[in-house]
Amino acid sequence: MSMSMSTVRVLGRVSIAMLLSGVLTVTALAPVQAAPQVAIDDPFVPQILPPVDSTPAVVVPEPLPKGDFSLDAGDASDWELAAPARGVKSFGSRADARVDLSGVDVDSLPVSARDEFTTTYTLPGGSPVMAIGESPLNVEIGGDWVPVDTGLDHVSGGWVDAEHPLSPEFAPRAGGDVVTLNNDGYQVSWRLLGAADVAGSTPKARQDPASQVTYPGVLDGVDLHYQVQPSLVKEGMVLDAAPDSAPAYQWVLSAPGMTVQADDAGGFVVLDPSGEVRFTIPTPTMWDSSGVAGVRDRSLRRLVRVLRRLAMSGC
């Protein structure tokens, strides 16, 4: 059984200032449906008024411009464009703009420019093409833009990924703040209440840098699992077996200057002092490999989540 408790995602650039501590509580109980509303007669409810007739609007015709706006046939043929690959924008003019990218390995092309959400490549003929991402494609390190990398480097203090929009840091043990996210000099971190001080580990026998960290047995029969993805850090709890009763898990979340609020979709949003969304925590979910014996489909359910603010920031 696996329970996906939270996914922290960065939206644009993070700006954080003061300190807020809160407890996120997630339980495997199904949400309680609200009682149906009963209409109550109220003499003060305004009555429906009859429609009011209005006079027709006066339409003022716009004068048509004068002149010759015809297009030469030769000019029209020069501006034909081949449909670019999804997420890639081609540049050029007239005959140069007809670019077929269907058989092009864009990642192998030379790069001419980068920023947070775009990477510009140069085709063999010299024409540029731009890859545009909905999430960050590159991160700025030392004044240079480099591609987002989900690989973790092992350091004395655990594991880090400097080439990631969130620059995640994972502690070597689970007894304290297990994850810290960084952006523009600010940090947000959290820890699991009641967690055993077990050592974390990454997958073995991998040629590429690992992007996952697991803290086995962090609770009785529960492993705490993290995965670094290109624009987010995903957290999951893997249960050895289905529990006899609905469990509840609590995290202490600390973030300078951020306000955590529940959203209408069952998750959370993290707002900066101006009210702009900087992070999102999607709806916590729980799933099993199969809800019925002999059936391979996964059984998925949303979880109840509760947000409480602590009086002491040092909790």
Judgement on whether residues 165 and 246 belong to the same structural domain of the protein: yes
For residue 215, is it within any domain? yes
Q: What's the mean pLDDT in 261-289?
A: 82
Q: Which helix (H) or strand (E) holds 306?
A: strand 304-309
For residue 14, is it within any domain? yes
Judgement on whether residues 92 and 217 belong to the same structural domain of the protein: no
Which domain, by its residues, includes 97? 88-132
Shortest CA distance to 279 belongs to which of 145, 183, 163?
183
Say what the pTM is: 0.67
Confidence check: pLDDT of 107 > 60: yes
**Which of residues 100, 132, 164 is at a domain's end?**
132
Q: Which residue has the higher pLDDT, 57 or 163?
A: 163
- Residue whose tokens read 């014996």: 293
Cα angle 250-167-151, degrees, rounded to a multiple of 5: 100
For residue 113, is it within any domain? yes
Confidence check: pLDDT of 22 > 80: no
Confidence check: pLDDT of 13 > 80: no
For residue 78, is it within any domain? no
What is the CA 209 to chain-centroid distance, rounded? 22
Q: 285-288 and 277-281 as β-strands: parallel, antiparallel, unpaired?
A: unpaired
**Which of residues 104, 132, 160 is at a domain's end?**
132
Q: Which helix (H) or strand (E) holds 278?
A: strand 277-281
Query: What's the pLDDT at 131?
Result: 92
Spatial distance between the Cα atoms of 280 and 263, rounded to a whole number of angstroms: 9
Judgement on whether residues 244 and 104 belong to the same structural domain of the protein: no
Query: What's the pLDDT at 233?
Result: 93
Q: CA dist 35 to 13, 40, 213, Å?
A: 41, 15, 43
Domain count for the chain, please give it.
2
Judgement on whether residues 302 and 199 belong to the same structural domain of the protein: yes
**Which of residues 132, 163, 196 is at a domain's end?**
132
Dihedral of alpha carbons 239, 240, 244, 249, sign:
negative
User: Own/partner pairs for 136-141, CB < 8 Å, 24+ apart?
Assistant: 136/10, 136/165, 136/230, 136/231, 138/114, 139/163, 139/164, 139/165, 139/167, 140/116
Judgement on whether residues 250 and 292 belong to the same structural domain of the protein: yes
Average pLDDT, the chain: 74
For residue 143, is it within any domain? no
Judgement on whether residues 165 and 299 belong to the same structural domain of the protein: yes
Judgement on whether residues 256 and 156 belong to the same structural domain of the protein: yes
Judgement on whether residues 217 and 106 belong to the same structural domain of the protein: no
**Paired tokens of 139:** 């991160």
Judgement on whether residues 103 and 241 belong to the same structural domain of the protein: no
17 — pLDDT class (breaks 50, 70, 90): very low
**Paired tokens of 215:** 């803290």
Judgement on whether residues 213 and 114 belong to the same structural domain of the protein: no
Q: What's the mean pLDDT in 252-261?
A: 84
In 10 A of CB 177, how many CB atoms? 17
Query: What's the pLDDT at 119?
Result: 95
Spatial distance between the Cα atoms of 197 and 175, rounded to a whole number of angstroms: 4
For residue 290, is it within any domain? yes
Judgement on whether residues 198 and 291 belong to the same structural domain of the protein: yes
Q: Which residues contact 240 (CB under 8 A, 6 or more apart)?
A: 1, 221, 222
Judgement on whether residues 265 and 159 belong to the same structural domain of the protein: yes
For residue 202, is it within any domain? yes
For residue 79, is it within any domain? no
